[in-house]
Structure 1
Amino acid sequence: MSKLKVAVIGCGSISRHRHIPEYAANANVELVAFVDPVIERAQAYAEQHGGKAYADYETMLAEVKPDAVSVCTPNAVHAPASIAAAKAGAHVLVEKPMAVTDEEAEAMIIAAKENGIHLMVGHNQRFMPPHVKAKQILKSGVLGKVLTFRTSFGHPGPDGWSVDGANSWFFRKEEAIMGAMGDLGVHKSDLIRWLLEDEVAEIGAFVGTLHKQGTDVDDNASCILRMKSGAIGTLVASWTYYKGEDNSTILWCENGVMKIGTHPDDQVIVELRNGTVERHKVGAISTNEKQLSSEVINAFVNGILSGGEPAVSGEEGRASLKVILCAFESQASGKFITVNE
């Protein structure tokens, strides 16, 4: 079987830590092109993995005609690059947030359908072992209905993570459009939708720039959510957790509580009202300091080769983005916003 010819558009940190090494490790993939406006970055990967380096994706798509692309650009470029790739007949894996408006997300989904390509959104939290285990436990019914929850994602910010540090596009509004909510909040809106198999019905939010200097993108958000099922909870995104990353979720249910990512060794803890406690060592959640395989790339490649549905569809990405967009609307209006009306 011939290998899937893959191009990576955007050669920053997410490509360096996740996309490029995971493609390189996949026996079904040949990396054929790397695109970055800082051409030296693309050239370095081309020298390392083979393939060609390009400064823009339009030229690459016309010349290379890849089978699939990863879109790892600044947020504002996600939609145009994904749509261009779809029109060129390439399958698309796009980083989150999939787009910066609901209209863009819809246009991406339409482009994928019209061109018969696989569109997947890189919501990696769904693939992390503690979250997979937590969903299995929820589905078993042992905890009963989820009543309330809190889910949080915070770290010290992209200045310590991005290839450009404090000069990163993450802090430039015209390229990022949104800050901590687009970086971390959308991970948690996607996770809570997926874990609970439920949609966010209503959201109220405080979103602001509290501490990062020289930027007008949000560095913190605290949101309150009501799900369609009636469950209520909080979602927090922060770039100012300067003393340690937090990516934890706690679900308070009819029959007990489940704690995910709250303990360094026991990644999932279930405490039932009858006094029993289960501790599950299932593997850690990836952090900026300790990168683990995301499984996103393997899921994307397997989906294309099998001809099945994308592991995280454009529709799923759009629904998770909508929650974040409504949080910004809540901050602007000072009101609770009905989601997905």
Structure 2
Amino acid sequence: MRVVQVGVGSATFGRTWRKGLKEIAGVEVVGLIDASPVFLQEAREFFGVPEACCASYGSKEFYDRVQADFIIDSTPHAFHYKNALEAMRCGLNVIVVKPMSDTAATAQTMVNEAARLGRKLVIAQQIRFMEPVLQLKKLIADGVIGDIAYIQADSYFTRQGPVRDKWYQPHPLLLECAIHQFDLIRWMSGLEPDSVIADAWNMPWNEEVWGKKTAIALFQMNNGSRALFRGLSTDQPGESYPGHWEIEGTKGVLSLIKGNIWLNGERIWPAEEQREAALDLSALNAEVLKDALAYFAGGETPVLTGADNLKSLKMAFACIESSEKGSRIQL
């Protein structure tokens, strides 16, 4: 399948797709889009794409010229809505990095337009493909701890906290980072949130100019259980992704700590204890790409769709609303 990558320069977003785009059979990069001439030139040389197939922005004329089947949008989320609608209205399917968009309304429109136009929308929530996450999800589905009563997910960042250089956003932790844990709460447990009460703030060492970088959220799930998320910018030891998890059920407790799974205090996976969970974004994005390609080709429902991811994204926006209003929000 023929692909255009939109946003090619970022080390943590644009460049992390290169492994999959180079190594997966059946995918060909036919176009590149980036507002930066420097990034565009570097990516053009890497992929060997003709200059005529590169542009500073997407358009119907450009997509018609390169004859792409889909786009990968790895730009900041403020641009996802425009880029996705433009591509879908030109007949292309879309992969977009998380979070899907910068408002719930624009994300809903993206999902609605995909359905209306018969296009396929995939959100690259790549932490779902981490092996410890897949193992933990399977154990929960197999019923080893019975019915879930309580979930706690902790995600720790350095004192600086999550910061996107040169781009301000009021809630970098809740929207751009915690979306991973919110998505995993749903995906691993099979439960959906009914309501949330949340708070977001800054530690004394964080500057408000970069937005709020610490948050706590307590969700009431649809089986009556509770899910607690803590995202901290701190010097305390901990991990960001997939984070430290404690999931207690009627038959026992599962823990995920530095990539190791424990059941009732006994380590059960992997065979040899890990020092930390391996976070290889390039390899994880390659898994997202393989799953999406099968979906675009008419395969079974993929691991990631826009319609499903919208439920996870709404958890983030509900947390933001709750923290600003100081009240419980219904989802």
Q: Give the alignment's TM-score, normalised by structure 2.
A: 0.88
Aligned to 1:258: 254
Change in 2 beyond 3 A, CA 1:252/1:180 = same
Q: Does 1:14 align with 2:12?
A: yes
Aligned to 2:174: 181
Change in 2 beyond 3 A, CA 1:78/1:212 = farther
1:199 shift after superposition: 0.6
1:308 shift after superposition: 3.2
The one-letter code sitting in structure 2 at the alignment partner of 1:249 is W
1:307 shift after superposition: 3.8
Aligned to 2:217: 223
Segment of structure 1 superposing worse, 146-155 or 290-299:
290-299
Pick from 275, 293, 302 the counterpart of residue 283 of structure 2.
293
Segment of structure 1 superposing worse, 143-152 or 229-238:
229-238
Distance in 1, matches of 2:116 and 2:218, equals 37
Distance in 2, matches of 1:328 and 1:74, equals 19
Superposition map of 1:316-327 within 5 A: 316-327=308-319
Aligned to 2:207: 213
Aligned to 1:149: 151
Q: Say if 2:153 and 2:246, in contact at 8 Å, map to a contact too.
A: yes
Q: Does 1:198 align with 2:221?
A: no
3-state SS of 2:25 partner: coil
RMSD of the alignment, in Å?
Answer: 2.4
Change in 2 beyond 3 A, CA 1:65/1:214 = farther
Segment of structure 1 superposing worse, 234-243 or 201-210:
234-243
Aligned to 2:55: 54
Q: What number of residue pairs does the alignment pair up?
A: 318
Q: Say if 2:171 and 2:213, in contact at 8 Å, map to a contact too.
A: no
1:78 shift after superposition: 1.2
Q: Say if 1:23 and 1:29, in contact at 8 Å, map to a contact too.
A: yes
Change in 2 beyond 3 A, CA 1:244/1:281 = same
Superposition map of 1:1-341 within 5 A: 4-11=1-8, 12-51=10-49, 52-58=53-59, 60-156=62-158, 167-169=165-167, 172-173=168-169, 178-210=171-203, 211-213=205-207, 215-240=209-234, 245-246=239-240, 247-260=243-256, 262-263=257-258, 267-271=260-264, 277-281=266-270, 285-287=277-279, 291=281, 293-294=283-284, 295-339=287-331
1:115-135 CA-to-partner distances (Å, cap 9, x unmatched) read 222111111122111111111
Distance in 1, matches of 2:91 and 2:84, equals 11
Distance in 1, matches of 2:93 and 2:108, equals 17
The one-letter code sitting in structure 2 at the alignment partner of 1:293 is A
1:228 shift after superposition: 0.6
Distance in 2, matches of 1:82 and 1:310, equals 19
Q: Say if 1:180 and 1:239, in contact at 8 Å, map to a contact too.
A: no
1:312 shift after superposition: 1.2
3-state SS of 2:94 partner: strand
Distance in 1, matches of 2:134 and 2:310, equals 21
Distance in 1, matches of 2:3 and 2:258, equals 38
Q: Percent identity?
A: 21
1:239 shift after superposition: 4.7
Change in 2 beyond 3 A, CA 1:84/1:285 = farther
Distance in 2, matches of 1:315 and 1:296, equals 16
Distance in 2, matches of 1:60 and 1:237, equals 41
Change in 2 beyond 3 A, CA 1:241/1:91 = farther
Q: Give the alignment's TM-score, normalised by structure 1.
A: 0.85
Distance in 2, matches of 1:218 and 1:129, equals 30
In structure 2, the gaps of 5 or more residues are none
The one-letter code sitting in structure 2 at the alignment partner of 1:188 is Q
Q: Say if 1:37 and 1:55, in contact at 8 Å, map to a contact too.
A: yes
Distance in 2, matches of 1:296 and 1:157, equals 30
3-state SS of 1:224 partner: strand
Q: Say if 1:221 and 1:236, in contact at 8 Å, map to a contact too.
A: yes
Segment of structure 1 superposing worse, 47-56 or 220-229:
47-56
1:280 shift after superposition: 0.7
